[in-house]
A = this chain, B = another copy of it.
Amino acid sequence: MADNKKIEIFTNILQRNDQIAELTQMQMTEQGLLSINVMGAPGAGKTSVILSLIKEMTEMKAYVIEGDIESDIDTKKLREQGIETIQINTHGACHLDAPTLAAALQDLRPLQEGVIFIENIGNLVCPAEFQIGEHIKMLVVTVTEGSDKPYKYPLAFEKADIIILNKIDLLPYVDFDENYFMAGVRGLNPEVLVAKVTAKQNMGIKEVAKWIENKTTLISQELYL
């Protein structure tokens, strides 16, 4: 197959994806539901961040959509805490896409106002390339992954609306160069909020919860329309 044919097919798939993503985002806005696409490498602590944020935001209805290649480990963890959660298993696919999310959302209706966390597949590469219907992209990274990640995986850092630097309790035991990390982040994304947290110990979570609550105010004023 000629290369221009391949490019055409890929462009068509992306265009269709983006149209559905836009529609999903509009529907969420109309519902007064802030949708957050949570991205990060395997083991970055995406589920722990989501769990600690929901515990903090007691006034707000929260939903979770759990994206995993296989397993429902995280969904069980969230449901045990009484959180309404839908599992998506991609069986191999390395990221969520807009049609998959739109289908999963059907299982959550009727939706109330609040916030919905969509935990993407653990992967610092592919999820950043696809809109799925989110208002906000939240990137979770850890000090154990090393300070060179913005330089090696720039797209995820460039597109993030908020970056959670997780597991900072492990700082004394790893050689994480915060200045080097922040220089990389700022080169790609000058204004983004970088929040230092240890989700499992609830450290730094309050600030992030406040930031999200402010964003939901914008949604309820339909400023994301």
Q: For this complex, into which size category does the number of interface residues on chain A fall?
A: 35 or more
Cα of A173 to Cα of B198 in the assembled complex, Å: 12
Among A1, A6, A124, A170, residue most surrounded by chain B Cβ atoms (within 10 Å): A124
Within 8 A of B (CB), among A116-137: 121-126, 129
Assuming the contacts A1-B12, A9-B9, A73-B148, asked whether A155 and B42 have C-beta atoms less than 8 A apart, the reply is: no
Cα of A159 to Cα of B69 in the assembled complex, Å: 16
Cα of A200 to Cα of B43 in the assembled complex, Å: 20
Contact call A124/B123, Cβ cutoff below 8 A: yes
In the assembled complex, the CB of A97 is this many whole angstroms from the nearest CB of chain B, namely 14
By a CB distance below 8 angstroms, the chain B residues around A126 are 94, 123, 125-126
By a CB distance below 8 angstroms, the chain B residues around A207 are none
Cα of A41 to Cα of B142 in the assembled complex, Å: 12
Given contacts A43-B142, A70-B153, 5 further A-B contacts (CB under 8 A): A41-B42, A94-B94, A94-B125, A142-B144, A170-B170
15 pairs, CB–CB < 8 Å, chain A vs chain B: A9-B9, A41-B41, A41-B42, A41-B122, A42-B124, A43-B145, A68-B152, A71-B151, A92-B125, A92-B129, A92-B155, A121-B125, A126-B126, A142-B144, A170-B170
Assuming the contacts A1-B9, A94-B94, asked whether A153 and B41 have C-beta atoms less than 8 A apart, the reply is: no
Let me know if A222 is at the binding interface, CB within 8 A. Answer: no
From B42, B142, B173, give the contact of A152 (CB < 8 A). Answer: B42
By a CB distance below 8 angstroms, the chain B residues around A6 are 9
